[in-house]
Amino acid sequence: MDVSGFYDVVHRRRDVRGEFTGGVVPTDALRRILGAANAAPSVGLSQPWDFVLIRDVGTRTAFRDHVQAEREIFAGRLDAERARIFARIKVEGVLESSLGVVVTYDPRRGAPAVLGRHAIADAGLYSVCLAIENLWLAATAEGLGVGWVSFYREEFLRKLLDIPHQVRPVAWLCLGPVGTLQATPDLERHGWRHRTPLAQVVHEERFGRSAPR
């Protein structure tokens, strides 16, 4: 296969807020995207994820209102300089996107003896995130956009979607066609934070030992 095509997807992928068109997501593309998520690696082959597809405007409006309230809580904790930057940053595209995909974690899948989870309880939660990244990249490959919204309380989302108490909501993903994918992440464009170069996060043999340049 074309390796450079793969890296193109990885580097084009963005966390989309403002670029959703609200256009239709073709059924076949959605099936391929969810199929990629379901093909992710998982601890003990437990596949502990579920995907709730939300198109209903009433549900999405209720969630968006909750997110806006959480946005205000976060804004209230910032100093004046950070608050000024944050005011320019859009944190969700819940209504502008075509649908929401809520991804959840069910620790009961494959239990009690989940192979590889006895020493690390969070390993199941990790698996769910691997599925989310597969979904995200697949959507990018299909020419669509994804935005992960995390300004919410898990309990709110659990009630909104009738999620059982044993199941944990992990993400609300906005999904849909986009007018464009920004070349630079929103938070960098708006001066919130700059990307860390690879050399700063690679160590050799022990934590804290830099790689030779």
Nearest distance from C-beta of residue 162 to its own copies, angstroms: 5
Nearest CA to 50 out of 133, 175, 167 is that of 167
Question: Quick one: 96 or 117, whose CB is closer to its own copies?
Answer: 117
Alpha-carbon distance 39 to 33, whole Å?
Answer: 10
Please say which residue, 20 or 49, places its beta carbon nearer to its own copies: 49
Q: Is 172 in the site for its own copies (CB under 8 A)?
A: no
The footprint of its own copies on residues 127-156 (CB under 8 A) is: 129-130, 132-134, 136-138, 141-142, 148, 150-154
Applying CB under 8 A, which of residues 122, 179, 180, 191 lies at the interface with its own copies? 122
Q: Which residues, at least 6 apart from 52, have a Cβ–Cβ distance to it below 8 Å?
A: 100, 101, 102, 104, 161, 163
Q: What span, in angstroms and rounded, lies between the C-alpha atoms of 161 and 75?
A: 27
Residue 88 CB, nearest approach to its own copies (Å): 12
Residue 32 is a binding residue for its own copies (CB under 8 A)? yes
d(CA 100, CA 60): 8
Give, as ranges, the residues between 54 and 113 that touch its own copies (CB under 8 A): 54-56, 59, 70, 73-74, 77-78, 82, 86, 89, 91, 104, 109-110, 113
Is residue 211 part of the contact set for its own copies (CB under 8 A)?
Answer: yes
| Token pair of 74 as six digits | 């976060």
Which amino acid makes up residue 7? Answer: Y
| Minimum gap (Å) between residue 202 Cβ and its own copies | 5
SS3 178: strand
Q: Report the alpha-carbon angle 174-149-18, nearest 5.
A: 60
Size of the residue set binding its own copies (CB under 8 A): 100
Report the C-alpha gap between 158 and 26 in whole angstroms: 28
Cα 32 from Cα 174, distance rounded (Å): 17
Contact status: 28 vs its own copies (CB under 8 A):
no
Shortest gap between Cβ of 19 and its own copies (angstroms)? 15
The pattern of x and - marking residues 33 through 52 that bind its own copies according to CB under 8 A reads -xxx-xxxx-xxxxx-xxxx
The number of CA neighbours under 13 Å toward the Cβ of 72 is 5
Binding string, residues 179-208; x marks residues near its own copies by CB under 8 A: ------x-xx---xxxxxxx--xxxxxxxx
